[in-house]
A and B are shown apart, each in its own frame.
Chain A
Amino acid sequence: MSTVAGPDQGGPARSGGPWSWRAPAWRTWPTRVVGFWRSSLSFRTVALTVVLSTVAVTVIGTLISVTIGTSLYDQRREQVEAESVRATLLAQNIFDSATATEDANQVELDALQNEAQTAILGSTSSPGGTSIAILRTPGQNSPQTIQNIASPDFPDSVISPALREAVAADDGRLSMQSVSLPPTSLGGGSPGIAVGSTLQVPTAGQYELYLVYDLSDAQATLDLMQRTLGIGSLALVLLIGAITYLVVRLVVGPIRTAAETSQKIAAGHLEERIPEKGQDVVATLGRSFNGMADAMQRQISQLAELSRVQQRFVSDVSHELRTPLTTIRLAGDVLYDQRTSFTPSAARTAELLHTQVDRFELLLADLLEISRFDAGAVELETEPVTVVRLVEDGVDEFGPLAAESGSVVSVVARGGYFEAEIDPRRLRRILRNLLGNAIEHGEGRPIEVEVDSDATAVAVAVRDNGVGMSPADAARVFDRFWRADPSRKRTIGGTGLGLAISLEDAALHGGRLEVWSEPGSGSRFVVTLPRVAGGRIEGSPLPVVPPDRRGETTVPVTGEPWSGSVPAVEVPGASVPSSAPSKGRADDD
């Protein structure tokens, strides 16, 4: 299932059953945000600041809003209370003055009531508008009644039974209640205050006067204030975010520069430095960083210089030794060719001279090679190489020697038929060493060579069925000048450096060389190289423990290249000697 699905590929476009369902883009957001959170210091800082300041601003804003709202309400309530008292007195006075004249009849009462209503409405000055109602207190008997009246838009619903009870009970006092006015054509849901009081109407008994004040103007003020506060808070939070971002940029910027610079230095650009500006802590960081880089560059240059001196020395020794050695070699060979005309002792001397010059030559070549590795003065020269072909060539080359020892060399190649990026001279040298060893220690028994490859690596295994080695010996097999059994007769004659060089050759490819061995069962060497130059290998297509020995206790040994710790430093202008073209010799151990 591909994860590169576009965000618009969900829904109807889904097909192929439930398993082809793709996560819509928003599903990946949490992952992405978490990833961004982890990777970006600026994002983390800004986000934290914004969240915290939002919380603070919200708390403060709510507090302000509540305080102002309360005080606005209290103020209006006092005003309403005062007005209500005045209105009640006014109405009561009107009814009382009528009482004083004579017994009112019904018509007069109605007129009185209208007069009172007009007077009350005239007396109020509430900006929100006032509604009025005069209701008869239920449950009384009186000779006359006046009609319940109410102003046209009186919201009956706001006069709750509880209020009516309170008004009826608390004689002579104002009862107040906050109400929500029902929606009207002008807008609705605005808050209001309902005030109830009692009026004593002569001959008609007790009536309740209700005044409902609309507080929508106060609400409007509050709304405006809250909106302003909200917008202001948002702006403040955004501003804080922006400021934080700016500050973080100012602080993180130099750190990022330092990080990038150190990466460049690590990548080999030793001359990279951080610009030093000002006297602040960031500049101090830059200065100390640059100081460190200077010291490091000096050290590395020194190492590079040492390496160059070493290379120079190796090159000089090589030249100085090889010229006289060539003369000795030529002289020895001339004598050797004429040995039949010498006395027996002189002839034998010529023979010894001949063979030992050969040995000396091999030793010198290997010593120079290993010192090149130690100096880091080696270079991988890869070209497309078919490993199977190289292995077959190597086996052919050793055909005569194998036949002489009685060993039959078989090649099983399950892979390795493609062109890998390998330095053929180095792989050839590895194969020569492994085959030479197998023949020398193989006791004339069969030798099996395997080639296989996987996605990342190509491997060659060489197995002999000879004497084998103890685990302690196997652990030292890659050591320089180490010999498994010094008393053994040497048929091929090696320098004791062959496997050490092979190990370095494998390591130079980024590959490895491993050995499994068991006394009496023989040894198996596996060289594993990456398919492409600079590639990495995980496992090996060929296990180092032979398939028929799986599960046994013999622990294989993976060679640790000695030069692995030497940093590869590119030294401008330094010539890089590499291995001499091998002339088909078998350096072995």
Chain B
Amino acid sequence: MNPRILVVDDDPALAEMIGIVLRADEFDPHFCGDGAGALEAFHEASPDLVLLDLMLPGLDGIEVCRLIRAESGVPIIMLTAKGDTADVVRGLESGADDYVVKPFNPKELVARIRTRLRPATEPTNDVLTVGDLRLDVAAHEVRRGDTPIALTPLEFELLLALASKPQQVFTREMLLEQVWGYHYKADTRLVNVHVQRLRAKVEHDPDAPRIVTTVRGVGYRAGAGS
């Protein structure tokens, strides 16, 4: 069955064109033209991924993003027209996994969608530990003791990437390549924002992180280090 993609965009021409591109790459697109109906469309389509325009009539894209994120970890890719720093950061903070700046080309869009649908790491049956967390790679599950912690697939990928090589310090560029699939210099704010979101879920005290620690001037690593 083809992956279902929910396209939330108020511009019918663009939505239709995105639909053509998606169908050509064997995706199953569903459409929603306004923010107010987006959550309902999300429930109906139960998509594998959401393409979300930030500027929507009815309900703001960032609000839609927050609503979807509140009940699901499904990958969300924002379509931003402004390239506005503040908007991108707000979008990422409200839970979007990645963003594509208009005007984008079909290959770029499809590449971003595929990266989010197909996790970058090889599926294994390993169980990793980092700090007091247990990562069940096969089950895509993180537990602290017996309590499962709900992470989005992206947050799980991020934590897994760090935890799989606990001795290694990852630069933001390395994480962008490994987790987001960017092979060129992309926006390091993607990493910064998602590390913050991840910490908010897994750390006892997000202000004094012990699971995902910052290595000043370099990047991040799992655990407090030696």
Contacts and interface: CB of A to CB of B under 8 A. Distances in A.
Interface of A: 315, 318-319, 322-331, 333-334, 337, 357, 361, 365, 379, 381, 384, 393, 397, 419, 428, 575-581, 583-584
Interface residues of B, number: 31
A176 B14 CA distance: 129
A323 B81 contact: yes
Interface string B62-100: 000000000000000000011111111000000000000
Nearest to B24: A334
B105 A319 contact: no
B45 interface: no
Interface in B23-74: 24, 55
Given A577-B86, A581-B186, A329 B81 contact: no
A381 B85 contact: yes
A364 to B, nearest CB: 8
A322 B217 contact: no
Contact of B82 (A315, A337, A419, A583): A315
Contacts of B18: 330
Nearest to B105: A333
A587 to B, nearest CB: 14
Contact of A330 (B81, B101, B106, B187): B106
A381 B88 CA distance: 14
Given A327-B17, A428-B185, A580-B83, 11 more contacts: A315-B82, A318-B82, A322-B103, A323-B102, A326-B14, A333-B105, A333-B106, A379-B85, A419-B217, A581-B101, A581-B187
B54 to A, nearest CB: 9
Contacts of A330: 14, 17-18, 20-21, 104-106, 109
Q: At the interface, is chain A mostly helix, strand, loop or mixed?
A: helix
28 contacts: A318-B83, A322-B102, A322-B103, A323-B14, A323-B81, A323-B102, A326-B14, A326-B103, A326-B104, A327-B14, A327-B17, A328-B103, A329-B103, A329-B105, A330-B17, A330-B21, A330-B104, A331-B17, A334-B17, A334-B20, A337-B106, A397-B184, A578-B84, A579-B83, A580-B83, A581-B88, A583-B101, A584-B185
Interface of B: 11, 13-14, 17-18, 20-21, 24, 55, 81-88, 101-109, 184-187, 217
B184 A584 contact: yes
Given A384-B217, A577-B86, A325 B106 contact: no
Nearest to A328: B103
A578 B14 contact: no
A399 to B, nearest CB: 13
A583 B17 CA distance: 22
Contact of B86 (A357, A365, A384, A576): A576
A333 to B, nearest CB: 5
A357 B102 CA distance: 13
A579 B85 CA distance: 7
Contact of B21 (A334, A419, A428, A580): A334
Contacts of B13: 324, 327
Contacts of B87: 575
A577 B81 CA distance: 12
Contacts of A419: 217
Contact of A577 (B24, B82, B106, B217): B82
A43 B105 CA distance: 73
Contact of A575 (B14, B83, B86, B186): B86
A361 B82 CA distance: 13
Nearest to B14: A327
A121 B49 CA distance: 135
Contacts of A318: 81-83
Contact of A581 (B17, B83, B86): B83
A393 B217 contact: no
Contacts of B83: 318, 365, 577, 579-581
Given A327-B17, A330-B21, A319 B82 contact: yes
